[in-house]
Amino acid sequence: MRFKEVTLSPDTLIFGRAKYPLRYGHNLEVGKGQVIPEIKYFPRVDKDVKEEYGKITESILKRAVDLDIRSLQLETELTYLEMRTKDLPGDITQLQRHIIDRYAQEYGLNIGFRVTVADIRDLGRPKHDEDSYMKIMETFESVASNGADVLSIESEGGKELFNYAIIRQDILGVVASIGQLAALDMKKLWKDIVKIANNKHVIAGGDSACAFANTAMRLAGGKRDNVIAHSLAALVRVMSASRSLVAYEEGAVGPGKDCAYENVFIKAITGYPMSTEGKSAAVAHSSLVGNIIAATCDLWSNEQTENINLFGGCGPEVFLEILYYDTKIMNTALEMGKEKELKSLFVKSDKYVDPQAYVLAPEVAYEICKAIVGEEDFFSRTLTSAYETTSMLLNDDRLALAKNEIRFLEATRTRLEGLNKNPSKVQELLTSYEPKVTKLRIRDYFDV
């Protein structure tokens, strides 16, 4: 299916409410009038990984009981290290499932459990490393069979070209990598993930363009130190929406993954509930979008925190508490009918601080979404949304852009306009990068 219209207006695009709420796990309801904390964690590397996940899960749920947190979601994000050992992902999932079930039964907690499988492919190998692809799918099968409620991945198709282009601030290479290569890879990947989810009666949650948009965000840096233009990072975020949308066109239903800041656009278009992360993700990375991203969340996450000892307890349980108090404010606003006021504060506190925040404002995102759904194919919607965003960034006087940012946007708009007049040149454009990017094999993306 292809989404042809925007489901949520700027007014209805708000935290805690989705048009199509979900219910899964132990009676966890997401997007039905409440924001749920989603805690994400990482085991200490010098410890037995399975034992670590057991201890983390136990400590998180004990803290939930102590704080009277009635609803929460856990996310285990697997790495290459876990996936290289046969049966370990399934064993970790099963161990956590047993602990989750025990706490749900003993204390009446509403709990969801997301497992994110790592993209372990070497995209530079012919046919995109089919052995690793099969390992990914086997891992999805295993975690779905052993207790995961929601399946997700941070896929990296197109990353070979993106890495080359982003560091050179080559906007055409960025558009081609995200709008064509990444989208084609997503279509293949999510067709198979959704099939597994449906067969195992679990939820196909969604993808994240972390490898693209969050890479750009990190390179953009803060107000002082940066490697690339902040406007470029904003454009990459916008372009990533078209790429991540493919998962939902293949049958994913959310809740979208937390590190996908593009979920603002995805929620607006699909109406599905989404997870986001912001100020509490400072434990993993810094950003200039810590408040505005909360304006539309249904699950509120922390990114990653290692299972280290802090004064207040181990890292994951401490950050669960932080998330919980964030969500209490949002849920109190919903109960009192003050959600629009709180949403406005979230947005206004960040919107004009940086282009990366500006594009995430619901009213801005809505206009960008209209550009996305108005196009027929992957590349055109990526290209058009980026072009429209350059105009929006340049035309709002309240967004104080530095001179170098303005120069970058003006040059970018000209380059995008030239390609927009002849989008059929994408194949020629992609082919031109093959001699420059060592591992890039364009044919492998089209021959699927």
Q: What pLDDT is stored for residue 423 in this prediction?
A: 67
- Structural domain count, the chain: 1
Can you tell me the distance from the alpha carbon of 242 to that of 411, in angstroms, rounded to the nearest whole number? 23
Query: Beta strands 28-32 and 17-24: pairing type?
Result: antiparallel
Can you tell me the distance from the alpha carbon of 129 to that of 269, in angstroms, rounded to the nearest whole number? 33
Q: Tell me whether residue 441 is in a domain.
A: no
Q: Tell me whether residue 443 is in a domain.
A: no
Residue 89, domain extent:
17-436
Q: Tell me whether residue 87 is in a domain.
A: yes
Q: Tell me whether residue 56 is in a domain.
A: yes
- Provide the token pair at 117: 């499988």
**Which positions ≥6 away from 69 have C-beta within 8 Å?**
37, 63, 109, 320, 324
Q: What pLDDT is stored for residue 225 in this prediction?
A: 81
Q: What pLDDT is stored for residue 420 in this prediction?
A: 75
**What is the amino acid identity at position 437?**
V
Can you tell me the distance from the alpha carbon of 267 to that of 204, in angstroms, rounded to the nearest whole number? 15
Can you tell me the distance from the alpha carbon of 412 to that of 226, in angstroms, rounded to the nearest whole number? 18
Burial 227-249 (b: 16+ CB within 10 A, else e): ebbbbbbbbbbbbbbbbbbbbbb
Q: How far is CA 366 from the centre of its chain?
A: 18
In the chain (448 residues long), the average pLDDT of successive 10-residue segments reads 96 98 98 98 90 97 98 97 94 98 98 98 86 97 98 97 97 97 97 98 98 97 91 98 98 98 98 97 92 98 94 97 98 98 98 98 98 95 96 95 96 91 82 94 85
Q: What pLDDT is stored for residue 426 in this prediction?
A: 87
Q: Tell me whether residue 9 is in a domain.
A: no
Q: Tell me whether residue 77 is in a domain.
A: yes
Query: Beta strands 71-77 and 36-41: pairing type?
Result: parallel
Strands (E), 312-379: 313-314
Query: What CATH number did the domain enclosing 390 receive?
Result: 3.20.20.70
Q: Tell me whether residue 3 is in a domain.
A: no
pTM: 0.97
Q: Tell me whether residue 184 is in a domain.
A: yes
